[in-house]
Amino acid sequence: MAARPSARAGAQPGRMVVISTLGLGQILAWGSSYYLLAVLAPPIAADTGWPLPWIVTGLSIGSLTAGVIAPRVGHAIQTHGGRLVMATGTVLLALGLLGLSLAPSLPLHLLAWVVIGGGMGCCLYDAAFSTLGRLYGQNARPAITTLTLFGGFASTVCWPLSAFFLERLGWRGTCVAYAILHLVLTLPLYGLVLPSSSKIAAETRSLPSGERDRQIASGPVLDPPWLMFAMLATGISLGWAISSVISVHLLTILQAAGFDLATAVALGALVGPSQVSGRAVEMALGKYYRPIWTLVISVLLVASGLGLLLASPHITAAALICYGAGVGIASIARGTLPLAIFGPERYPIWMGRLASPTLIAGAVAPALAAVLLEQAGPTITLLVLEGLALVNVGVALVLLWLQKQT
């Protein structure tokens, strides 16, 4: 007699165990890649004499690398599941961080960021969302939303942790410490806790695995919804480009508006809690509306926040809270809307295709904004960002209309 489904399901870790494992991995992965140089760049420059802009360029190189490999990562998760891909990304992050710790010259330092970028492509949100979509199908939306709550604490946890390591171990030792954390904590958790993707898929979605998955992965991706894909890729890429610029240049913009450094830092610190708060509200209310409305609300909040930032320095706190909430729930839309539009069968492949332009835009935008800041000043830069945000509102409304036609 065949085993009952409940018995088979009982052999697999529960959803919260899986989400918590991925959440811990997100905190460490973001903290040791995207947020690493916020703490380490000045000490690296002081210790080595390398130009600070070139040190910071390492993160752009990592993001570009992640964007280039993103489609292949999506195919790999579709075919093999997330466990192998996430584990591989963790090893790449560890190797890249060890490379940073040992790099005797700037070119080797930047080469290490190529390796870290490979880990970013295999470990950050897009890969984690794909893993959850591969595991839980259309039921993955609550899991994706919960995962973004974990990710929202990455800077809150890892900036103080990086400072703690820096004070005791130096910047090279900090890189080694993060590499060890990946190898002794994240990697075993991924290997032991992340379930077999094919088994979960068979139980939760009643989809055949094995040969069927390979056929899906190798089949054509851009079917009838090509316009939907193009608009979604444009919207997500614009949103990520804007948030990348603000994350890099916010303090400069605030200081140009007349705030001293301490006040600018205090105001900038409002963005992180606002992101988490926005995601918490979305987690509570998101079940009452379609994911497309998450995107619409997020772009409206971002455009409103940037508009308020332009309007008056006296309402900067309100502007940044509004902006932060919009960016926070944009991360949820980035994971849940493709699942709703394209369905679960090819979700990892769609996510890989969407991640590529998004990550590349996020890598290039801060450098372009730096040139604009230098040549035209912060007010013009903010006006350009507001213009892009309003374009993104239009893109979201077009997506809303397209969904209503289907």
CATH of the domain at 97: 1.20.1250.20
- The CA radius of gyration of the chain, in Å to the nearest whole number, is 21
Query: Residue 12's pLDDT band (boundaries 50, 70, 90)?
Result: low
Q: Are residues 296 and 387 in the same domain?
A: yes
Task: Kindly tell me if the per-residue pLDDT of 217 is higher than 60.
Answer: no
Answer whether residue 75 is part of any domain: yes
Answer whether residue 243 is part of any domain: yes
Residue type, position 352, single letter: G
Range with the lowest mean pLDDT among 12-16, 180-184, 388-392?
Answer: 12-16
Please report which residue ranges of 205-315 form alpha helices under DSSP H.
211-218, 226-256, 261-268, 271-285, 291-311
Q: Are residues 148 and 248 in the same domain?
A: no
Question: Mean pLDDT, the chain, as a whole number?
Answer: 85
Range with the lowest mean pLDDT among 85-89, 159-163, 236-240?
Answer: 159-163
Mean pLDDT in residue range 346-373: 88
Q: Are residues 130 and 252 in the same domain?
A: no
Final residue of a structural domain among 216, 249, 265? 216
Q: Are residues 280 and 212 in the same domain?
A: no
146 or 268: whose pLDDT is higher? 146
Q: Are residues 315 and 175 in the same domain?
A: no
Sole residue written with tokens 């963005």: 271
Q: Which of 154, 185, 150, 131 is nearest to 344 (CA)?
A: 131
Answer whether residue 1 is part of any domain: no
Helices (H) and strands (E) in the chain, counts: 19, 0
- Predicted confidence at residue 199, as pLDDT, reads 54
Residue 294, token pair as written in the block: 């998450």
Task: Kindly tell me if the per-residue pLDDT of 401 is higher than 60.
Answer: yes
Q: Are residues 284 and 337 in the same domain?
A: yes
SS3 at position 219:
coil
Final residue of a structural domain among 187, 216, 245? 216
Domain that holds residue 302: 222-405
Taking only the tens place, the pLDDT of each residue in 306-336 is: 999 998 888 999 999 999 999 999 988 888 8
- Predicted confidence at residue 11, as pLDDT, reads 57
Q: Are residues 373 and 337 in the same domain?
A: yes
Answer whether residue 6 is part of any domain: no
Spatial separation of the C-alpha atoms in residues 242 and 389, rounded to whole Å: 8
Percent pLDDT > 70 in the chain is 89
Answer whether residue 83 is part of any domain: yes
- Predicted confidence at residue 406, as pLDDT, reads 64
Q: Are residues 103 and 167 in the same domain?
A: yes
Mean pLDDT in residue range 384-394: 95
Q: Are residues 196 and 238 in the same domain?
A: no
Query: Residue 373's pLDDT band (boundaries 50, 70, 90)?
Result: confident
Other CB atoms within 10 Å distance of the CB of residue 100: 28
- Predicted confidence at residue 33, as pLDDT, reads 92
- Predicted confidence at residue 254, as pLDDT, reads 87
Q: Are residues 198 and 302 in the same domain?
A: no
Other CB atoms within 10 Å distance of the CB of residue 311: 12
> 92 near 122, Cβ under 8 Å?
yes
Query: Residue 346's pLDDT band (boundaries 50, 70, 90)?
Result: confident
> 233 near 358, Cβ under 8 Å?
yes
Residue 261, token pair as written in the block: 């450094």
Percent pLDDT > 90 in the chain is 41
Final residue of a structural domain among 183, 216, 249? 216
Q: Which of 175, 169, 164, 40 is nearest to 98 (CA)?
A: 175
Answer whether residue 4 is part of any domain: no
Answer whether residue 266 is part of any domain: yes
Q: Are residues 143 and 242 in the same domain?
A: no
Q: Are residues 101 and 247 in the same domain?
A: no
Q: 50 burial class (0-12, 13-18, 19+ CB within 10 angstroms)?
A: middle
CA distances (Å), 113 to each of 55, 63, 223, 272, 371, in order?
Answer: 10, 9, 35, 25, 23
Q: How many domains in the chain? A: 2
Mean pLDDT in residue range 358-368: 88
Spatial separation of the C-alpha atoms in residues 20 and 48, rounded to whole Å: 38
Task: Kindly tell me if the per-residue pLDDT of 220 is higher than 60.
Answer: no
247 or 114: whose pLDDT is higher? 114
Is the pTM for the entire model greater than 0.75?
A: yes
Answer whether residue 8 is part of any domain: no
CA distances (Å), 354 to each of 41, 141, 209, 217, 235, in order?
Answer: 30, 17, 24, 15, 10
- Predicted confidence at residue 198, as pLDDT, reads 52
138 or 380: whose pLDDT is higher? 380
Q: Which of 125, 120, 3 is nearest to 64 (CA)?
A: 120
Task: Kindly tell me if the per-residue pLDDT of 216 is higher than 60.
Answer: no
Query: Residue 185's pLDDT band (boundaries 50, 70, 90)?
Result: very high
Residue type, position 216, single letter: I
Residue 232 carries which DSSP code?
H
Other CB atoms within 10 Å distance of the CB of residue 1: 3
Task: Kindly tell me if the per-residue pLDDT of 101 is higher than 90.
Answer: yes
Residues 6+ apart with CB under 8 A from 320: 267, 268, 270, 271, 274, 305, 309
